[in-house]
Amino acid sequence: MPRQQAAPRGKGSLKVNKHIMGRLARYIFKMYGIHLIIVLVCILASVLCSLQGTMFMQNLIDDYITPMVEAHSVDFGPLLAAIGRVAGFYALGVVCAFLYNFIMAQVTQGTLRALRDEMFVHMEELPIRYFDTHQHGDIMSIYTNDIDALRQMISQSIPQMVNSGVTVIGVIVCMIRLSIPLTLVTLGMVAIMLLVTKFLAGNSGKYFGKQQRNLGRVNGNIEEMMNGQKVVKVFCHEEEAIEKFNALNDELFDSAYQANMYSNMLGPANAQIGNVSYVIVAVVGGILAIGGFGGFTLGGLASFLTFNKSLNMPIMQVSQQLNFIVMAMAGAERVFGLLDEKPEDDEGYVTLVNAKEENGQIVETSERTGMWAWKHYHQADGTTSYVKLEGDVVFDDVDFAYEPGKTVLHNIKMFATPGQKIAFVGATGAGKTTITNLINRFYDIADGKIRYDGININKIKKDDLRHSLGIVLQDTHLFTGTVADNIRYGKLDATDEEVHAAAKLANADSFIHKLPNGYDTVLTGDGANLSQGQRQLLAIARAAIADPPVLILDEATSSIDTRTEKIVQDGMDKLMAGRTTFVIAHRLSTIRNSDCIMVLDQGRIIERGNHDELIAEGGKYYQLYTGKIVNA
Amino acid sequence: MHVLKTLLAQVKEFTRDSILTPIFMLVEVAMEMVIPLLMASIIDEGVNKGDMHHIFVIGAYMILAALVGLWAGMMGGKYGARASAGFARNLRKSMFANIQTFSFENIDKYSTAGLVTRLTTDVTNLQNSYQMILRMGMRAPASLIVAMIMSLYISPRLASVYLIAVLILACVLFLIISRVTKIFDYVFKKYDDLNASVQENISGIRVVKAYVREDFEKEKFQKASGNIYKFLLKAERILACNAPVMMTTVYTCILLISWLGAKMIVTSTFTTGELMSMLTYCMNILGSLMMLSMVFVMITMSVANANRVAEVLNEKATIVNPENPVMEVPNGDIDFDHVNFAYKKDAEEFVLEDIDLHIKRGETIGVLGGTGSAKSTLVNLISRLYDVTEGKVRVGDIDVRDYDLEVIRNQVSVVLQNNVLFSGTIYENLRWGSENATDEECQKACKLACADEFIERFPDGYDTYIEQGGSNVSGGQRQRLCIARALLKQPKVLILDDSTSAVDTATDAKIRKAFREEIPGTTKLIIAQRISSVQDADRIVVMDNGRIDGIGTHEELLESNAIYRDVYESQTGGGSGDFDEKEGE
């Protein structure tokens, strides 16, 4: 199967995609609109409260302490009252801060949960082609790295930005009220701060992007080398491996160093520009006050300096959030990219229903009868007909291409009548697996028709089509859960007895009993604690319990050694009895008793017939399984 | 401690940066402390008294202090970045280099995914912690202490307010952190499980779709993700207390100091400028405390990373070169002298038991047996991929443990069961076998391995780029390329460990024919599942449960060996007929 490597995606360029930002904002707002409004109000209140505090600090000296010092009888009453009032504001501020932090926790976690769930639900609907064309590690990293980046931004950056924004506006308003010229001086310094921030953050963003790419490369190299570590040993290739790794590692070091350097410098740079701004304001303000321009007083200057100081803080905080935002946007882009993938389309309308026979007529029933029928609604005349599910499969001149223009199957014509066993043989890449993938519509054909019990499979609802087919794949995939759970995957409501019976049929029962907890043994990591052969036996049991009329076995027994296979064969024969079966195998013993064997070569059926006929023919089949042509 | 020592040994050439960083940070702290004093002076002596000259002078000092602070802060940032990025580089480098010395036994101990995580995520976390410690580990306590001393100097009475506040804050933060880390520990494990289930769904998507279990999986996922949401929300809500607690402490301090300070000013034991400075120090102290708690959390979180990295760094290779190694393999004779082998030293049962097998140079030996009968284990001993537990394995009459590792592995060429190709062109992959092989030699090896036919069909021929893991060639093609790669070593012994399982029978036969005709002097061991792959060998070894069950030619074994006969019959259809007998005719 052609698996294309997804192109490595550039991450971390400092350009924030406005479209993505807006979409994310809408997404959050739709779910948590009211929450966000409350949060906004709380932040606003909290900022205003702390501004009250700052104002108090300025007036502390002028309005309370100086009068007290000058007065004859000291009265602490007004000061106490003022402190009490400010304490009230502070308390309100604290409560608001707690509230918005508390609510943001829910907004953050809720949004992430919704995104995760939506991504997973959507992913399950995507066509197989999506998984063929994307590296699995790459898909995984959307769930982990990208979501993590979003968490950082939603929970910290957004409230921080709002907070800082409100503070900055509040402080500037206060400043303007005190002195317009000094405000201009301060804003001039803020502009310098922003320029420096833009330069440093731009550089660090650039290098962070480079670091992410280098990190990806190093990860790729490590993964490749660790996977092939034994081969490296066998070929004494250690030094070359180290050399290659060191080169990549050094590049990573370089970009990580630069990225961190620029981002580390951001804090001190802004802090010191802030200090310089303080001095300049002091000097300019001093000249203004002493010269008595515009009625500006020294007391006013003192207040102004405090505001100057409180303006620098939020700007510094915002600048430190920039990198998080850039990274989060890159993450959001990938998250939405997954959500925008087109799901598998299913225009089918023929459904599978339980049926029973009444007076020679097939009628639908709600009970489980063991008999199934295709419910076919005819739009033309508004009637509904029922066709009994039998497993009659016909390929009529089918062409197929994974990529347009590169046809891999040509003019496939074949038919399987109910209960027949059809085998496909041929070299790797001849198109055997592809044919079976067309029957259950993992892929859609380019030309021709596939009929199932006389119905074009495009008209059958995909879920119902797949329900009627049992598949045992070449790569067995097991899921985390008990052995019984894994077998039950074929039929969720199966009883314990049914599970045991299916396991016995596949000859898996005996090894399952030897497992530490029998059927309740928990399998993890795709059944890592089982041998390949044992996993195949479980996959067979899983197919057996589903009891489908049509069975597809794709190299189902390839990892079971021949002696064990002989034992399994017995179960397989029982499983195949009365079902239409498509078998792919390279072992003769698995296919020799097939009703019809199709020999495939480069996407075409070149020979067909039963074993004896094909041997007599002395063609490709004969060659493949005897190796005779070489000896002759 | 041991772990710490191992890790710190990796700082190496970045020691200077690592020492300079905290020093610069201290300078920055010093400036941070001086500046509030200067600010106070500008207000008290300059602005309040209308002394322009004083403002100029102190302003100049302040700008100087700011410049020094800027310089120190930037240098600290630079050296911190260099030290931590360098530390990470060295960790990766040393781990990678050490892994290269690993024997198969060492490799088996770790999973591939485990090693990858150690080299990537674990190191990245350590890098961040290291930078944090270098930059904040000194800065925060220093800033805390200096601010403390300064406030004590200004007014011991007011400073006592901080002390109490600091203590209370520390207790509350500690409570919050300890509660949250417990939840996080739990939830991260669950989070891993959730990701594992995504992974499972991605790789097993065909099974999910084939059984129409999309809705089942969705429900399962949503349940798990809902559960995680519950715990994460709880943790985050506790964390939400952080900011308000911090704010409460700061505000309380400010109000207390204002109140007490005002009283003191009235009694003329305190100045307004001093009050302002006190308030600034108050912010400094509490800020440092917050920073310290963050450093503390980061350190706790990276302890696990540190342990995992140190484990790899301290892993000792179990197979190393002997002292005076033999540098030449005289011939391809192989002898197993009563070999016993177990993967673990303290295992109760041997995996291989009493193997006594003698193979002459140039012989072709087939090895057959069920899964788990230790066929691969047997051949892995020859090129010293594992060391025998008891007995001796000799190649060319010399114990394999006496050879130079590179020499024995080049002369005994193994095509492993799990074939791996590396990203690069076909030529590059082939030259793993022999670095300086010419194009002609490469092509010849491919011809022997029957790989030439499909390579020549590729548009780019031998320059075709192989993707990571060889994902753009089929299983059978991959196996043939791996055989060609092994052939390029021109070994004295060639071992194929089930290396033609995905190659069709006809091609398989062609490869064996080529071996027979082109490299007759090379000793060949062929492990296979298919009888046809071994039946024309000079001798066939039948393995069962770690023992040799029978040795002989195809005919002899058919006669005398029950297992062999069983396998033969199972593959040829019960001997009732037709197929292989026809071939025999």
Query: How far is residue A292's CA from residue B448's CA, in Å, rounded to a whole number?
Result: 99
Nearest CA distance, B57 vs chain A (angstrom):
10
Higher pLDDT: B195 or B521? It is B521
What mean pLDDT is reported for chain B?
Answer: 84
Query: How far is residue B343's CA from residue B352's CA, in Å, rounded to a whole number?
Result: 10
- Alpha-carbon B378 to chain mean position: 29
Least confident of A168-177, A311-320, A604-613: A311-320
Q: Which residues of B touch A69 (CB under 8 A)?
A: 265-266, 268
A190 and A258 in a single domain? The answer is yes
Say yes or no: A253 contacts chain B, CB-CB below 8 A. Answer: yes
Pairing state of beta strands B334-341 and B352-359? Answer: antiparallel
User: Are A519 and A484 a contacting pair, CB within 8 Å?
Assistant: yes
Cβ separation A275–B262 shorter than 8 A: no
A356 and A259 in a single domain? The answer is no
Residue A458 belongs to what domain range?
393-631
Domain B2-155+270-314 class? mainly alpha
A542 and A400 in a single domain? The answer is yes
pLDDT at position A444, please?
87
Query: How far is residue B257's CA from residue B159's CA, in Å, rounded to a whole number?
Result: 9
The superfamily CATH assigns to domain B334-573 is: P-loop containing nucleotide triphosphate hydrolases (3.40.50.300)
Q: Which residues of B touch A626 (CB under 8 A)?
A: 505-506, 579-580, 582-583
User: Are A492 and A546 a contacting pair, CB within 8 Å?
Assistant: no
Highest mean pLDDT, choosing among A219-233, A312-326, A541-555: A541-555
Q: Which chain B residue lies closest to A66 (C-alpha atoms)?
A: B266
Higher pLDDT: A586 or B167? It is B167
Number of other residues whose CB lies within 10 A of the CB of residue B582: 12
pLDDT at position B577, please?
31
Cβ separation B212–A467 shorter than 8 A: yes
What stretches of A276-359 adopt beta strand conformation (E)? 351-358
A189 and A118 in a single domain? The answer is yes
Contacts of B584 (CB under 8 A, 6+ apart): none
Residue A601 DSSP class:
E
Nearest CA distance, B195 vs chain A (angstrom):
7
Residue A209, pLDDT > 70, answer yes
Cβ separation A427–B476 shorter than 8 A: yes
Residue B465, pLDDT > 70, answer yes
Residue A9, pLDDT > 70, answer no
A224 and A242 in a single domain? The answer is yes
DSSP character string of A165-210: HHHHHHHHHHHHHH-HHHHHHHHHHHHHHHHHHHHHHHHHHHHHHH
pLDDT tens digits, residue range B237-248?
888 888 788 888
Least confident of A410-419, B146-155, B292-301: B292-301
Least confident of A295-299, A419-423, A610-614, B396-400: A295-299
pLDDT at position B146, please?
83
pLDDT tens digits, residue range B97-139?
999 988 888 887 776 767 877 888 788 889 988 988 888 888 8
- Alpha-carbon B232 to chain mean position: 28
Contacts of A502 (CB under 8 A, 6+ apart): A487, A490, A494, A541, A542, A544, A545
pLDDT band, very low/low/confident/very high, at B572 (cuts 50, 70, 90): low
Q: Which residues of A touch B416 (CB under 8 A)?
A: 230-231, 234
Written as six digits, the tokens of B293 are: 């708690």
pLDDT at position A247, please?
94
Q: Which of A193, A234, A255, A570 to mutate to test the interface with B (most CBs of B within 10 A)?
A: A234
3 state SS of A397:
strand
Residue A219 lies in a domain: yes
Give, for B383, the enclosing helix (H) or strand (E): none
Q: Which residues of A touch B418 (CB under 8 A)?
A: 230
Query: How far is residue B274's CA from residue B44's CA, in Å, rounded to a whole number?
Result: 9
pLDDT band, very low/low/confident/very high, at A318 (cuts 50, 70, 90): confident
pLDDT tens digits, residue range B286-344?
778 777 777 777 777 677 788 889 999 999 988 888 989 999 999 999 999 999 998 77
Range list for CATH 3.40.50.300 in chain B: 334-573
For Cα atoms B399, B484, B386, give the angle at the middle one, nearest 5 degrees.
30
Residue A597 DSSP class:
E
Contacts of B435 (CB under 8 A, 6+ apart): none
pLDDT tens digits, residue range B169-225?
888 888 887 888 788 778 777 877 787 788 788 878 888 888 888 888 899 899 988
For the segment B41-60, the average pLDDT, to the nearest whole number, is 80
pLDDT at position A133, please?
76
Q: What are phi and psi of B495, to 5 degrees?
A: -120, 125
Query: How far is residue A95's CA from residue A53's CA, in Å, rounded to a whole number?
Result: 15
Pairing state of beta strands B364-368 and B523-527? Answer: parallel
Within 13 Å and on the Cβ side, how many CA atoms surround B53? 0
User: Which residues are paired to A376 by β-bridges?
Assistant: A385
pLDDT at position A6, please?
35
A399 and A355 in a single domain? The answer is no
A420 and A310 in a single domain? The answer is no
- For A86-123, give the secondary structure using H, E and C: HHHHHHHHHHHHHHHHHHHHHHHHHHHHHHHHHHHHHH
Written as six digits, the tokens of B482 are: 């791996």
Residue A529, pLDDT > 70, answer no
The alpha carbon dihedral of B225, B231, B233, B235 has a sign of: negative
Say yes or no: A551 contacts chain B, CB-CB below 8 A. Answer: no
User: Which residues are paired to B415 by β-bridges?
Assistant: B496
Q: Which residue type sits at A606?
A: I
For Cα atoms B385, B390, B393, give the angle at the middle one, nearest 5 degrees.
50
Query: How far is residue A403's CA from residue A118's CA, in Å, rounded to a whole number?
Result: 29
Higher pLDDT: A428 or A116? It is A116
User: Are B17 and B86 a contacting pair, CB within 8 Å?
Assistant: yes
Residue A208 lies in a domain: yes
Query: How far is residue B181's CA from residue B175's CA, in Å, rounded to a whole number?
Result: 10
User: Are B80 and A248 a contacting pair, CB within 8 Å?
Assistant: no
Percent of chain A at pLDDT > 90 equals 18
pLDDT at position A629, please?
43
What is the residue whose two structure tokens read 């995507």?
A126
pLDDT tens digits, residue range B370-385?
766 788 889 989 989 8
Highest mean pLDDT, choosing among A297-306, B289-298, B473-482, B483-492: B483-492
Number of domains in chain A: 3
pLDDT tens digits, residue range B408-461?
988 999 888 777 788 889 999 999 888 888 999 999 999 999 999 889 888 888
Q: Which residues of A touch B106 (CB under 8 A)?
A: none
User: Are B553 and B538 a contacting pair, CB within 8 Å?
Assistant: yes
Q: Which residues of B touch A83 (CB under 8 A)?
A: 255, 258-259
pLDDT tens digits, residue range A475-516?
778 888 899 999 998 888 889 999 999 998 888 888 888 888
Residues composing chain B: 585
Residue A9 DSSP class:
P
Nearest CA distance, B357 vs chain A (angstrom):
23
Least confident of A43-47, B267-271, B463-467, B545-549: B267-271
Higher pLDDT: B153 or B575? It is B153
For the segment A115-142, the average pLDDT, to the nearest whole number, is 84
A375 and A399 in a single domain? The answer is no
Residue B485, pLDDT > 50, answer yes
Query: How far is residue B538's CA from residue B555's CA, in Å, rounded to a whole number?
Result: 11
Residue B584, pLDDT > 50, answer no
Range list for CATH 1.20.1560.10 in chain B: 2-155+270-314
Q: Spell B334-353 as b/e; 16+ CB within 10 A means b.
A: bbbeebebbeeeeeeebbbb
pLDDT at position B544, please?
86
3 state SS of A292:
coil
Contacts of A85 (CB under 8 A, 6+ apart): none
pLDDT at position B1, please?
62
User: Which residues are paired to A450 by β-bridges?
Assistant: A395
pLDDT at position B542, please?
92
Nearest-by-Cβ selection for A233 from B211, B385, B474? B385
pLDDT tens digits, residue range A322-371?
767 877 887 888 899 999 999 888 888 888 888 888 877 888 887 777 77
What mean pLDDT is reported for chain A?
Answer: 82
Query: How far is residue B269's CA from residue B156's CA, in Å, rounded to a whole number?
Result: 12
Percent of chain B at pLDDT > 70 equals 95
Written as six digits, the tokens of B4 are: 């710490």
Q: Which residues of A touch B62 (CB under 8 A)?
A: 275, 278-279
A407 and A306 in a single domain? The answer is no
Nearest-by-Cβ selection for B59 from A215, A279, A309? A279
Cβ separation A229–B93 shorter than 8 A: no
Cβ separation A265–B241 shorter than 8 A: no
Least confident of B403-407, B473-477, B568-572: B568-572
A482 and A425 in a single domain? The answer is yes
What is the residue whose two structure tokens read 């314990």?
A496
Q: Which chain B residue lies closest to A69 (C-alpha atoms)?
A: B266
For the segment A417-445, the average pLDDT, to the nearest whole number, is 84
pLDDT at position B388, please?
92
| Separation of first and last alpha carbons in chain A | 34
A398 and A377 in a single domain? The answer is no
Say yes or no: A554 contacts chain B, CB-CB below 8 A. Answer: no
DSSP character string of A20-61: HHHHHHHHHHHHHHHHHHHHHHHHHHHHHHHHHHHHHHHHII
The alpha carbon dihedral of A305, A309, A310, A315 has a sign of: positive
Nearest CA distance, B383 vs chain A (angstrom):
8
Domain boundary among A273, A308, A340: A340
Cβ separation B200–A144 shorter than 8 A: no
Say yes or no: A599 contacts chain B, CB-CB below 8 A. Answer: no
Cβ separation A282–B59 shorter than 8 A: yes
Nearest CA distance, A243 vs chain B (angstrom):
9
3 state SS of A559:
coil
Nearest CA distance, B107 vs chain A (angstrom):
8
Q: Which chain B residue lies closest to A568 (C-alpha atoms)?
A: B570
User: Are A120 and B218 a contacting pair, CB within 8 Å?
Assistant: yes
A334 and A232 in a single domain? The answer is yes
Say yes or no: A105 contacts chain B, CB-CB below 8 A. Answer: yes
Highest mean pLDDT, choosing among A433-447, A580-594, B513-527: B513-527
Residue A564 lies in a domain: yes
Of B249, B112, B230, B228, whose CA–CA distance to B171 is shortest?
A: B249
3 state SS of A448:
strand
ipTM above 0.85, yes or no: no
Residue B50, pLDDT > 50, answer yes
pLDDT band, very low/low/confident/very high, at A254 (cuts 50, 70, 90): very high
The alpha carbon dihedral of B298, B99, A524, B206 has a sign of: positive
Largest CA distance in chain B: 123
Pairing state of beta strands A580-584 and A550-554? Answer: parallel
Residue B360, pLDDT > 90, answer yes
Percent of chain A at pLDDT > 70 equals 91
What is the residue whose two structure tokens read 């062109």?
B425
Q: Which of A39, A464, A562, A614 to mutate to test the interface with B (most CBs of B within 10 A)?
A: A562
pLDDT band, very low/low/confident/very high, at B86 (cuts 50, 70, 90): very high
pLDDT at position A391, please?
82
Written as six digits, the tokens of B432 are: 């793993």
pLDDT at position A382, please?
81
Q: In this structure, what CATH number is given to the domain that contains residue A552?
A: 3.40.50.300
Q: Spell B508-530 as b/e; 16+ CB within 10 A means b.
A: bbbbbebbeeebeebbbbbbbbb
Written as six digits, the tokens of A119 are: 């991504």
Residue A7 lies in a domain: no
Nearest-by-Cβ selection for B210 from A227, A265, A471? A471
Query: How far is residue A467's CA from residue A444's CA, in Å, rounded to a whole number?
Result: 18
What number of C-beta contacts closer than 8 Å exist between A and B?
A: 430
pLDDT at position A249, please?
94
